[in-house]
Amino acid sequence: MTTPADPGPGRTVPSTQPAPQTVTDRPPGAGSDTAAGTLRPARPRWRETLGLLARNPTALIAALVVLGMIVVALLDEQLAPEGPNEIDVGARLQPPSPDHPFGTDDLGRDVFSRVILGAAVSLRVGLIAVSISLVVGTLIGLLAGFYGKWVDDVLMRLMDMLFAFPAVLLAISIVAILGPGLTNTTIAIGIVYIPIFARVTRSSVLGVREEVYVRAARSVGSSDVRLLARHVLPNAAPPIIVQTSVSLAFAVLSEAALSFLGLGTQPPDPSWGLMLSEGRGYIELAWWIAVFPGLAIFLLVLSFNLLGDGLRDVLDPRQRTAMSGGRQ
């Protein structure tokens, strides 16, 4: 069960771990003003990172799409020409037209408006769920990687157990217990992606914890909390940031899948996954009901993935091959 990015618990071989970002690891042209980088590690510098990211056209476009979706989600009701549940029985199953750019569904609701309103649902679930996995998973990975020994063994065994369940099935089971609905779906997705954050953080921490600057800080008497917060976490962050972007993609997909299965968002609320499952019955009569929400999911997921790739190139060039893609 070991992946190239993770040597698995019980094996702590920091030398084989991807080294942390130090000044010399920066891609040529990145510029390094702190040449004496032996004691002071180079932190990911935001302006520099964004600058490099902006030079990658694919990542730039992806970032713009994500940003656009966020704007759409924030402005939802002002942007949508009609309310999400305005039923117009006279205009059922209308094909796309200037009045209804994405057509209307079986109840005469405007598909375009519902797709716009669905953006907020997808993004909200994605952000909250990933926040849950990010906070819990990173904390577990930090503790496991930093303290090693039995802490590592216990925590990572637990993570392995959670990892043994297919993600969608685990989410379905959690929703089955908590009951269907948007909040429970969010919690379920959050739990499902904890192990991946724990693994990524752990293997990144393993590479950092024996660095000179960490040992130096320890030798001058820094507390564990200070060590972790000031020295380990900031330097172990790049792979975690990349994982966050990729996980947002999976979280959006998972929400759509669960809503499609009737376990997530409940009707009549607009959610892309739910719209897909409603449109499925009319696929031969009215393809637009299912096709447009699906395109929206695809676009958002693709953008998060491409953004993740771009971030990986900038922040964590060594992991490019080891971690590329791991859909679960």
Partner 1 sequence: MLIGVSIIVFALIQFVPGDPVRLALGTRFSQETYDALLERSGLDQPVLQQYFTWSGRALTGDLGVSFRSGEPVTALILERLPATLTLALAAILVALLIAVPLGTLSALRPRSLVDRGATVLSQIGISVPDFWMGIVFILVFAGTLGWLPSGGYVPLTEDPWGWLQRLIMPAIVTGVVSGSVITRFVRSSVLEALGQDHVRTAQAKGLPARQVLSWHVLRNALLPLVTVTGVQLAYLLSGVVVVEIVFAWPGLGQLALQAVQARDYPVLQGAVLLFALVFLLVNLVVDLLYSRLDPRIARR
Closest distance of CB 110 from partner 1, Å: 20
Q: Is the peptide bond before 267 cis (omega within 30 degrees of 0)?
A: no
The residue among 238 and 310 lying less far from partner 1, judged by its C-beta, is 310
Q: Which is nearer to partner 1, 4 or 81 (CB)?
A: 4
Closest approach, Cβ 179 to partner 1, in A, equals 8
**Nearer of residues 29 and 179 to partner 1, judged by Cβ:** 179
137 and 194 Cβ atoms separated by less than 8 Å: yes
CB 67 within 8 A of CB 123: no
In eight-state DSSP terms, residue 316 is -
Q: How far is the CB of 164 from partner 1 (least distance, A)?
A: 5
Nearest C-alpha neighbor of 53 from the set 40, 67, 42: 67
Whichever of 151 and 261 has its CB closer to partner 1, that residue is: 261
Which tokens hold the place of 183?
Answer: 């909040």
Positions that interact with partner 1 (CB under 8 A):
1, 3-4, 157-158, 160-162, 164-170, 172-173, 175-177, 179, 249, 253, 256-257, 260-263, 276, 279-280, 283-284, 287, 290-291, 294, 297-298, 301-302, 305-306, 309, 321, 324-328
d(CA 231, CA 234): 6
Minimum CB distance to partner 1 smaller for 240 or for 249: 249
Distance, CA of 324 to CA of 312 (rounded, Å): 9
CB of 115 to partner 1, least distance (A): 13
User: Of the two residues 197 and 250, which places its CB atom closer to partner 1 in the complex?
Assistant: 250
Q: Minimum distance between the CB of residue 288 and partner 1, rounded to whole angstroms?
A: 11
Alpha helices by DSSP H, the chain: 46-54, 57-74, 76-79, 111-147, 149-163, 167-178, 182-192, 194-208, 212-219, 224-226, 233-260, 272-280, 288-315, 320-323
For the bound state, the minimum distance from the C-beta of residue 230 to partner 1, rounded and expressed in Å, comes to 35
